[in-house]
Amino acid sequence: MEREGEEEKKKEGSYRYWVREATSDAAPPPPLPQKLTNNDVVAPNAPALGSLWNQAGTWEEKNLTKWATDRLKELLRSVGSLQFSSGKAEIVDVNRCVGDAFLVTVRNKKRVGYTYELSLKVQGEWSFEEETKKVKGSLDVPEFSFGELDDLEVDVKVSDDKELSQQLKQRIRLDLKQFLEPIRLKLGQFEQELKDR
């Protein structure tokens, strides 16, 4: 009898693991697996951005530098010529187009960006004192990036022609600075095309 009392005390005072005994307020049993039918499969409402392997759209970066460089050159060559009070000039070629462009998908949102430097070859004719002079030069855009086209600057360099006076060169530089607006428009078109990719 004493032993039974001791065992009962041990049971009451002893530690017991709560999962070992099922009670009415315990968690329900886990659901059993069921085979899905074609009707049970739901197509996603909106297609995920990015690759098939990244359905959650967590992080994915795509390099668009090749496309962007080719497209920038094509757009800038199409600027055409500008007429000035004493002459005209045109962008002949893109000497330098260096930079990178990318598309990043973060949390299923698409973001694009780029940073580039340009040097454009220009040539034109100016009439001074009943004499026409052919002039070559370059338009350098030191650095520009996505969303900063309002701050765009162009450095104008005129070839060292000893027949041109400093005053004439200054006038030509001011004329060539007028290419800034058409360049800005082409770069704005480039940004829009990059966003739409």
Is 34 part of any domain?
no
Q: How confident is the model at residue 98 (pLDDT cuts 50, 70, 90)?
A: very high
The strand pair at 87-106 and 131-145 is best described as unpaired
CA distance 112 to 15: 61
- What pLDDT score was predicted for residue 72? 95
Average pLDDT, the chain: 84
Whether residue 36 is contained in a domain is answered as no
What are the distances in angstroms from CA 30 to CA 25, 26, 33, 181? Answer: 15, 12, 9, 68
At 23 the pLDDT is 65
Do the domain assignments include residue 29? Answer: no
d(CA 100, CA 68): 8
Q: How far is Cα 102 from Cα 145, in angstroms, rounded to an integer? A: 12
pLDDT score, position 66: 97
Percent of residues, the chain, with pLDDT higher than 70: 81
- Indicate the number of domains in the chain: 1
Q: Which CATH number is 192's domain given?
A: 3.15.10.20
| pLDDT digit string, tens, across residues 63-75 | 999 999 999 999 9
Mean pLDDT of 9-30: 63
- In this structure, what are the phi and psi dihedrals at residue 138, rounded to the nearest 5 degrees? -145, 150
pLDDT value of residue 4 = 63
What is the tens place of the pLDDT at every residue in 143-170? 999 999 999 999 999 987 777 788 888 8
pLDDT(2) > 70: no
Residue 106 lies in a domain: yes
Residue 112 belongs to what domain range? 59-196
Beta-sheet pairing, 59-63 with 155-158: unpaired
Domain-located, residue 7: no
